[in-house]
Amino acid sequence: MNSDVVAALNRPRFKWDSAVGFTLLHLGALAAPFCFSWEAFWIFFALQWITGALGICLCFHRLLTHRSFELWKPLEYLLALCGCLAYQNGPIKWVAIHRMHHARSDEAGDPHSPTRGFWWAHMGWLFAFDEQLDRFEKYREFAPDLAKDPVYRFLNATHGWYQLILALFLYLWGGWPFVVWGIFARTVFVWHCTWLVNSAAHIWGYRKWATGDRSTNNGWVALLTYGEGWHNNHHAFLRSAAHGLRWWEMDLTYFTIRLLALLGLAGGIQLPKPEQIAKADQSPPVAVAA
């Protein structure tokens, strides 16, 4: 076969639909300063917490991907709906991509490693078609537990519509300022916070554990992501519900899990055992490559 044809076939296919959605949402977010009101700001604040902290950090990541605790099932489904509203893929695809990341961290096959540069890890990977990530028959293999649940299959297939329904509701409630702050600015803000875990928390910060990858503990990312920035701790203890492991590693997602347990809604909370800590601590942490 002609070498040009081979090169074209090997070149990753650009996902124009992702690029258009990404651009429109960012352009909409730029309108936020021009329609500021305190009501619109508090809508933004509440929704970034509901979709980012509860939907993505607590539900999609610590509960669905790692099963680091158990939650009353109706609440689990409700929080998964909140995760869909973050517009970061449906639950089955999100979980599958994240499990791929842990299975091959910073090696070939990691969907978003900064070994290919900061911007690739942060958002570039979202625009390249990948057979493993974009075909349901392929990515479902990484999340068979969710793929067999009809509720998750339904949420996965319909996740984009909930954002539109919410936008319509906000428009009827408070007009365009509520839509700009509650949909555009809020979605873009939560996107970049989540993506910083894939980029910044695999580049900058300190490493306590020799995890064999580039994951770091990064305080400012932890602040923006409700504790997810303690990412080297997380790579060392995948099933731990707590990512902050020292008193000063503030982890609001773990506080929320504890609160849900106090209310009788959560249980089976997983934490590292002393022997696991001793095992992870046995070799000196590997410095992050420049």
Among the listed residues 216, 179, 227, 245, the one whose alpha carbon sits nearest the alpha carbon of residue 56: 227
Residues 165-204: x where in contact with Zn ion by CB under 5 A, - otherwise, as a string: ----------------------------------------
Question: Which 95-154 positions form the footprint of Zn ion (CB under 5 A)?
Answer: none
CB of 61 to Zn ion, least distance (A): 6
Buried/exposed 224-236: b ≥16 CB within 10 Å, e otherwise: bbbbbbbbbbbbb
Both ends of the chain: CA-CA distance in Å?
39
CB of 231 to Zn ion, least distance (A): 5
| Of residues 186 and 251, the one with the C-beta less far from Zn ion | 251
CB of 251 to Zn ion, least distance (A): 14
CB of 65 to Zn ion, least distance (A): 6
**Between the CA atoms of 182, 183, 185 and 190, what dihedral angle is there, to the nearest 10 degrees?**
100
CB of 62 to Zn ion, least distance (A): 8
Choices 118-126, 182-190, 204-212, 214-222; region in contact with Zn ion by CB under 5 A: 214-222
Residues 215-254: x where in contact with Zn ion by CB under 5 A, - otherwise, as a string: x---------------------------------------
Tokens of 85: 């509203």
One-letter amino acid for residue 219 of the chain? G
Which residues, listed in sequence order, are joined to residue 109 by a DSSP beta bridge?
A: none
Q: What SS3 state is found at 230?
A: strand
| Of residues 40 and 228, the one with the C-beta less far from Zn ion | 228
| Of residues 215 and 233, the one with the C-beta less far from Zn ion | 215
Q: What is the dihedral sign for C-alpha 176, 181, 186, 188?
A: positive
| Of residues 182 and 205, the one with the C-beta less far from Zn ion | 205
| Of residues 179 and 251, the one with the C-beta less far from Zn ion | 251
What is the length of the chain? 290
Tokens of 121: 């890890």
Choices 78-86, 207-215, 243-251, 264-272; region in contact with Zn ion by CB under 5 A: 207-215
| Of residues 89 and 215, the one with the C-beta less far from Zn ion | 215
Q: Could you tell me the maximum CA-CA distance found in the chain, to the nearest angstrom?
A: 65
According to the 3-state scheme, what is the secondary structure of 61-122? Answer: HHHHHCCCCEECHHHHHHHHHHHHCCCCCCHHHHHHHHHHHHHCCCCCCCCCCHHHCHHHHH
Q: What is the dihedral sign for C-alpha 226, 230, 234, 235?
A: positive
CB of 253 to Zn ion, least distance (A): 12
Q: How many residues bind Zn ion (CB under 5 A)?
A: 1
CB of 98 to Zn ion, least distance (A): 5
Choices 52-60, 123-131, 170-178, 211-219; region in contact with Zn ion by CB under 5 A: 211-219
Q: What residues make contact with Zn ion under the rule CB under 5 A?
A: 215
